[in-house]
């Protein structure tokens, strides 16, 4: 008696009226959105513009879907072109059948076209989207679960996959859930690339190459467990050989690239005309600067004028005070010469006038000056007398 297993869906499509909603297609769409979202965040963190990853994905995704389907049809041509088969089924992508090798190869071509149109380097863009692609594959593998396909050898493990369909030569039973193994492996690859990119500052396509190499390692042993029909070369499945060759190429690229172009790109997306401020904005900025400078100059001039006026007033007050003190002093001296030891009314008058000459304002200064003049006149009269 089976205590635990992974059940398979009874069918992989739901109908919303006349519109079929296929689980396989939903898994791919979710994966694409996840890859673009994460790639956009990583691209912005590296100095790129928001939306660039999505713009290039418009080229890469369709090319990738076509490439993945072509690889599957070419390597499993007997499913579509042998006797009793309908070649039209080769276009029914919703029934499953996408080869990741073709998807990456032709998707890279589409990405190169998009990058060339935007004037950015393809390796930098590939580094940004590499972990997102791994997570997208993790989502896409669940499409195989909806279609009850690409499972492994029979097993009695508690996480065995229960296959119930008998179409296309399937034998109901319990098998290794290779779709789950590969999904979990891709999640691990995605986090590995993120960690290595932060730790070693990978650039010039090396983060993407690390993703490819790590994925190939997992795909090698997972592919070996599968029991679906496949071409064999020297006892190994075709996809095993493909994974081995691609792994070696990815490692070779990492080694050569790190020697020829160490470090990471400083600029991943050059400045465009759209980033530059518009002519009207430049004029407004210049006017604002002029106004600010003019305002500063006016304020400085006002402060200078106030300071000058204040200095002039202080100077006038000082001079007036000096004149008043001189007048008072002269009067006192004159009185002293004529009335030594004998105070007179004239002397008292002069003293009083001298005391009143302390300046507090401009008017007081003028009054003090007049008082000083009167004191001198009286002093002169006393001298004559």
- 295 vs 281: CA distance, rounded Å: 21
Cβ atoms of residues 231 and 238 within 8 Å: yes
Q: For residue 320, what pLDDT band results from cuts at 50, 70 and 90?
A: very low
Express each pLDDT in 271-300 by its tens digit.
755 555 544 444 444 444 444 344 444 444
How far is the CA of 73 from the CAs of 48, 70, 97, 237, in angstroms?
37, 5, 8, 16
- 103 vs 110: CA distance, rounded Å: 10
Express each pLDDT in 5-40 by its tens digit.
899 998 788 777 888 888 999 999 999 999 999 999
- pLDDT the model gives residue 43: 97
Percent of the chain with pLDDT over 90: 53
3-state secondary structure of 174: strand
């Amino acid at each position: 008696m089976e205590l635990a297993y992974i059940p398979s869906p009874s069918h992989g499509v739901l109908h919303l009226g006349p519109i079929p909603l296929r689980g396989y297609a939903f898994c791919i769409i979710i994966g694409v959105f996840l890859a673009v979202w994460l790639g956009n965040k990583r691209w912005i963190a590296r100095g790129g513009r928001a939306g660039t990853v999505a713009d290039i994905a418009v080229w890469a995704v369709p090319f990738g879907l076509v490439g993945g389907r072509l690889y599957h049809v070419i390597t499993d041509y007997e499913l579509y072109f042998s006797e009793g088969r309908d070649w039209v089924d080769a276009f029914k992508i919703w029934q499953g059948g996408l080869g990741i090798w073709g998807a990456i190869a032709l998707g890279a071509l589409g990405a190169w076209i998009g990058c060339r149109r935007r004037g950015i380097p393809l390796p930098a863009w590939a580094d940004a989207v590499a972990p997102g692609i791994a997570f997208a594959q993790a989502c896409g593998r669940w499409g195989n679960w909806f279609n009850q396909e690409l499972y492994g050898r029979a097993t009695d493990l508690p996480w065995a996959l229960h296959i119930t369909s008998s179409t296309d030569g399937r034998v109901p039973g319990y098998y290794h859930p290779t779709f789950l193994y590969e999904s979990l492996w891709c999640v691990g690859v995605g986090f590995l690339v993120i960690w290595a990119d932060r730790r070693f500052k990978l650039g010039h396509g090396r983060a993407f190459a690390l993703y490819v190499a790590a994925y190939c390692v997992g795909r090698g042993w997972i592919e070996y467990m599968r029991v679906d029909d496949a071409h064999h070369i020297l006892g190994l499945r075709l996809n095993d050989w493909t994974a081995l060759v691609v792994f070696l190429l990815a490692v070779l690229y990492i080694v050569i690239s790190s020697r020829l172009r160490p470090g990471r790109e400083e600029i991943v997306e050059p400045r465009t005309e759209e980033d530059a401020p518009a002519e009207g904005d430049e004029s407004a900025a210049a006017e604002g600067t002029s106004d600010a400078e003019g305002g500063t100059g006016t304020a400085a001039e006002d402060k200078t004028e106030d300071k000058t006026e204040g200095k002039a007033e202080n100077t006038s007050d000082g001079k007036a005070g000096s004149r008043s003190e001189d007048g008072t002093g002269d009067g006192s001296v004159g009185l002293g010469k004529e009335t030594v030891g004998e105070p007179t009314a004239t002397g008292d008058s002069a003293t009083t006038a001298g005391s009143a000459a302390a300046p507090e304002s401009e008017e007081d200064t003028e009054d003090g000056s007049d008082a000083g003049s009167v004191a001198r006149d009286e002093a002169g009269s006393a001298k004559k007398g």
